[in-house]
Amino acid sequence: MAKLWFGNSLGKKRVIAECETFAEVMTEIDKFIADANDRWPNKKPFKRYYTRIWNEDGQSVFDVGSHVEFFYFDLPYPEDEHGFVDESEVLNR
């Protein structure tokens, strides 16, 4: 199990789940977004319009559209022979 972190716009990170697979990571990210929308019903709901994934400092970084808040997973996402991340496997689940 590896930790999934949420990093807010102030650079603070907190653990939100422990996951074994990248499919589980995406499920936990969606749960986190849904829970946040439930906590602040008067605020415009956040939607995940896209997901970009890259590796940085041994972690996978997930950008789900906020531009200032990211999710971090303690395992790097598999890269192809050119060093690129192919998100299609996890995003087309």
Q: Once rounded to an integer, what is the mean pLDDT over residues 77-93?
A: 73
The CA distance from 14 to 23, in Å, is 20
Contacts of the segment 6-14: beta carbons below 8 A, 24+ positions apart = 6/32, 6/69, 6/70, 6/71, 6/72, 7/69, 7/70, 7/71, 7/72, 8/69, 9/66, 9/68, 9/69, 13/72
Residue 93: pLDDT above 60?
A: no
Please tell me the predicted confidence (pLDDT) of residue 80.
79
- Average pLDDT over the chain, rounded to an integer: 89
Q: pLDDT tens digits, residue range 7-52? A: 999 999 999 999 999 999 999 999 999 999 888 877 778 888 889 9
Give the bridge partners for 14, in sequence order.
6
